[in-house]
Amino acid sequence: MKTKQDVIRWLGEHADEFIHLANQIWARPELAWEEVFSSRLQADYLESQGFRITWNVAGMPTAFCAGWGSGRPVLGFAGEYDALPGLSQKVQTSPEPVVPGGPGHGCGHNLLGTGCLAAAAAARYWLEANGKPGTLRYYGCPAEEGGGAKTFMARAGTFDDLDAALNFHPDQANYAMKGSNLGIYHLRFRFHGIAAHAGSAPHLGRSALDAVELMNVGVNYLREHVTSDVRIHYAITHGGDAPNIVPAEAEVSYLIRAHQPDTLEQVTERVRKVAAGAAMMTETQMEIIFDSAFSSLLNNHYLADLQYEAMKWIGPIEYTPEELAFAQGINDRYPAGNVEALFKTLRPPAGYGELLARFRGRALISENFPSLDEGAIRTSSTDVGDLSRVAPLSLLRTTCAPTGAPAHGWGFAAAAGMSIGHKGMLHAARIMALTAVDLLDNPLHIQKAREEFELAMQETPYHCPMPAEVQPPS
Ligand SMILES: [Zn+2]
C-alpha cells in the first residue's frame, strides 16, 4: 500500500466493514457519557488493525486512544459517537421513531467516529508500507453533545504532543471549514431559600423561584449591552413544587455563548453578578453548577487547503436516482426555505448569496468546495474548539444529509442510517486519509500548518475554559 491510489483502493475494499460499524452505532444510539457499546466497538476494530488501546483517557470511562507507529509527526483523528435524546428515527422519508422518545443519531456521530477511524486505519497501512516514521492516534471522544470530553482532554494535556489533528462532521456539502463558531459556557444556577405556607406565613418564606425569575429579568436587560456575537439562553429546570408552598429550591440552566474567549469570560462574569444580585434581593443562597465549556473553533487554513487538494483528486460523490429521490422526499417534509438556513452564520461568508442560488432546488450536494465559510462565524458550538486551540486542526464537512434537513432533526438521523450518510462518511475517510498521507510524507506541510497555528496562539493564547475543580462524570 505504497501510493495514494492504494489508500483509496484499501478504503474501497474495506468499505463494507466501515458501513457495518456505522450502522451498528446508528442502531444502538447511546447518549453522552453512556457510549459503552460504541466506544468498545471502535476500540475492538482498531485493536484488530494493530493499534494499541488506552482506556479511560482524562478519567473518562468511554474515552480511549488507539495508537499506531512511532516518532514524528504525530497525527490525531478525533472521533465521536454519542447520540441525541428524542431523535430516534426510522430510515424513511417521514418522521417516525424506531423507539418512541428514544435517542437517535440526529447529528450523524455514528458516521463521524467511523469516518475518522477508517482514515486512521488506512493511513496506518500506508505508513507501514512506506517504512516512514510517524505516529497515528485515533481518539474516541465521548459526549460531544453537551458534555465536552475534548475540553477535559485538552485540559489534561491529552493532545499536547500532536503535530496536527483532523476531524470530520456530517453536513450538507463537501468542504473543509475555514470559519469559526462560538465558545460556550453551560452553567446551572441553583437557589436555596426557605419553605413556608404560602397563604398563612408567606413572610417567613424566602423564595428560590423568585430568585430564578429575578435573575432571568436581570439577564434579559443585560442582553441590550452585549456584542452581537453573544447568545444567552435559559431553561428553568426546577421551579418549585406547588404554589401553596414558597419554593425553597429552584434552578435555572444557562447557555452563554460568544466568539472571542475574553468576551465569553466577561459576559459570563456579568451573568454571575446578576445571579448574585437576585440572591441578595430574595435573601436566598446561590450555587453555581458547572456543566461544560467549549472554546470557539480555530480552523487551520493551510490544512483546509490540503484537504481540498485531496477532494479534487478524489472527485465528487455520485448518487443513484433512488438516493436523490430519498433526499427529495425528506426535503419535501421540511419548510421550502430550509436551504436558506444552510450555513446560516452570524457573519455570512463571501459569495454566500451566489452559493445559495447554486444549492436551491437541489436535494443533495455532490461536488467539493474549497471552503464555504471563510471569515464566517457560526452560532453553534463544539468541543472540537478546545482541540483546535492545542494543535493545528482542520474540520472537514461532507454531504451526509439532504439540503433541507438540518442537523439535530429526524431527516438528518434518517440519512445517517442509510447510503447517503455512508457515502459522505467514506468520502470523508478518503479525504482525511490522503491528507494524512501528505502530512506524513512531507514535513513542510506540518511546518506550514504549525506556523499559522503559532501565530494565532500568540494573538489569543489558550486558557481552558473548564475550571480545574470541575471533573467529568466517572
Ligand atoms: Zn455533531
Nearest CA to 329 out of 411, 421, 221, 262 is that of 411
CA 295 / ligand 1 centre spacing (Å)? 15
Nearest CA to 287 out of 214, 188, 208 is that of 188
In contact, 397 and 179? CB cutoff 8 Å: no
Q: How far apart are the first and last CA of the chain?
A: 41
Exposed e or buried b for every residue in 43-61, given b needs 16+ CB within 10 A? bebbeebebebeeebbebb
CA 112 / ligand 1 centre spacing (Å)? 8
CA 412 / ligand 1 centre spacing (Å)? 11
CA 403, CA 342: separation in Å to the nearest integer?
Answer: 7
Nearest CA to 428 out of 162, 80, 167, 137 is that of 167
**Cα–Cα–Cα angle for 363, 369, 373, nearest 5°?**
95
CA 349 / ligand 1 centre spacing (Å)? 21
Q: Tell me the per-residue pLDDT of 448-471, one tens digit each, with 9 for 90 and over.
A: 999 999 999 999 999 999 989 999
How far is CA 448 from its chain centroid? 26
Nearest CA to 17 out of 42, 54, 52, 47 is that of 42
CA 132 / ligand 1 centre spacing (Å)? 34
Residue 349, H or E segment: none
Supply the pLDDT for residue 416.
98
Which residue type sits at 294?
F
> In 4-73, which ranges are continuous DSSP H helix?
4-13, 15-27, 36-48
CA 144 / ligand 1 centre spacing (Å)? 7
Grid cell digits, residue 52: 494499541
CA 311 / ligand 1 centre spacing (Å)? 22
CA 109 / ligand 1 centre spacing (Å)? 6
Residue appearing with cell numbers 446560516: 344
CA 225 / ligand 1 centre spacing (Å)? 31
Crossing angle of helices 321-333 and 419-441, rounded to 10°: 110
Supply the pLDDT for residue 374.
84
Protein residues near ligand 1, an ion, with CB under 5 A? 107
Grid cell digits, residue 441: 510524507
CA 208, CA 286: separation in Å to the nearest integer?
Answer: 9
CA 248, CA 205: separation in Å to the nearest integer?
Answer: 8
CA 5 / ligand 1 centre spacing (Å)? 30
> What residues in the chain have per-residue pLDDT under 50?
none
Ordered domains of the chain (ranges, CATH): 4-181+296-459 (3.40.630.10), 183-293 (3.30.70.360)
**What SS3 class is residue 94?**
coil
Rounding to the nearest 10 degrees, give the CA dihedral for residues 187, 188, 189, 192: -150
CA 149 / ligand 1 centre spacing (Å)? 13
CA 374, CA 357: separation in Å to the nearest integer?
Answer: 18
**What SS3 class is residue 210?**
helix
Nearest CA to 53 out of 137, 123, 112, 120 is that of 137
pTM score, two decimals? 0.92
Supply the pLDDT for residue 343.
62
CA 108 / ligand 1 centre spacing (Å)? 7
Supply the pLDDT for residue 339.
66
Exposed e or buried b for every residue in 265-283, given b needs 16+ CB within 10 A? eebbebbbebbeebbeebe
CA 384 / ligand 1 centre spacing (Å)? 10
Rounding to the nearest 10 degrees, give the CA dihedral for residues 31, 34, 40, 46: 60
CA 386 / ligand 1 centre spacing (Å)? 15
Supply the pLDDT for residue 336.
73
CA 188 / ligand 1 centre spacing (Å)? 23
CA 212 / ligand 1 centre spacing (Å)? 31
